[in-house]
Amino acid sequence: EIVLTQSPGTLSLSPGERATLSCRASQTVNSRFLAWYQRKPGQPPRLLLYAASSRATGIPDRFSGRWSGTDFTLTISRLEPEDFAVYFCHQYGSSPPITFGQGTRLEI
Amino acid sequence: DVQMVESGGDLVKPGGSLRLSCVVSGITFSNALMNWVRQAPGKGLEWVGRIKTETDGRTVDYAESVRGRFTISRDDSRDTLYLHMSSLKIEDTAVYHCMTIRQRYGDGYWGQGVLVTVSS
């Protein structure tokens, strides 16, 4: 099973700042099948990026993703007030099991 | 608008059975690989299983924790995904979500989730 470890657990920043969130896989992940989500209380997760770096429909360009080996990064270039939420990564490759990171809480 | 609406959650005793449904609208359901994902209280997200499209043989995969007890099916004529749960255990208590990612269209969706409580 591929374990996804996210860091930091909590990230405290201010609007306008840059946020960098990490997701490290325990083994090789096909970058085509790595997604990032945003989750707010009482709402289902919102897909931000798929295939590690492709923005989902309607996602603003301040959200970006990159990867190197087993390390995946979500960057929010300039935080808006609505960006404060929990973010998690998700690998959904062709071979189960599919796994999720434990999440990073982005707080003001 | 795309909607994925789960139903069927309930309080059930250990060893009992339950069927969850997920009705999907706003996308071509028959073309979507569908997943069930759960989140137990205070825990992270856990993948339960998935079912591929008819084109891909409706292949079903399960997490080890539910294999042999849960069955995923789909009715493309009703745009509905099912999760049949049997031999339920206390540790199956969770909010269950249906979800899909459609890379071809650059989108993905989750339902709001439905609560299943297994308790005596």
Does B109 lie at the interface with A, CB-CB under 8 angstroms? Answer: yes
- Burial tier of A28 (Cβ tally within 10 Å: 0-12, 13-18, 19+): exposed
Residue from B80, B2, B26 nearest A47 by CA: B2
Indicate yes or no: CB of B50 within 8 angstroms of CB of A98: yes
- Region B91-105: mean pLDDT is 95
Residue A97's pLDDT is 87
Residue A74's pLDDT is 97
Q: What are the tens digits of pLDDT across the range B41-97?
A: 999 999 999 999 999 999 999 999 999 999 999 999 999 999 999 999 999 999 999
Q: What are the tens digits of pLDDT across the range B54-63?
A: 999 999 999 9
Residue B54's pLDDT is 93
Q: What are the tens digits of pLDDT across the range A59-100?
A: 999 999 999 989 999 999 999 999 999 999 999 987 788 999
Residue A30's pLDDT is 87
- 3-class secondary structure, A82: helix
Residue A1's pLDDT is 87
In eight-state DSSP terms, residue A69 is T
Residue A93's pLDDT is 82
Taking contacts as CB-CB distances below 8 angstroms, the residues of chain B near A61 are none
CB B16 within 8 A of CB B91: no
Does B103 lie at the interface with A, CB-CB under 8 angstroms? Answer: yes
Tell me phi and psi for residue B116, to 5 degrees: -115, 125
Taking contacts as CB-CB distances below 8 angstroms, the residues of chain A near B95 are none
Mutation for B interface: A49, A88, A92, most B CBs within 10 A = A92
Q: What are the tens digits of pLDDT across the range A44-58?
A: 999 999 999 999 999
Residue from B75, B52, B92, B44 nearest A45 by CA: B44
Taking contacts as CB-CB distances below 8 angstroms, the residues of chain A near B101 are 35, 47, 50, 92
Indicate yes or no: CB of B109 within 8 angstroms of CB of A57: no
Residue B38 pLDDT greater than 80, yes or no: yes
Residue B103's pLDDT is 86
- 3-class secondary structure, A40: coil
Element (DSSP H or E) covering residue A48: strand A46-50
- Region B28-52: mean pLDDT is 95
CB A74 within 8 A of CB A48: yes
Residue-averaged pLDDT of chain B: 96
Residue A31's pLDDT is 86
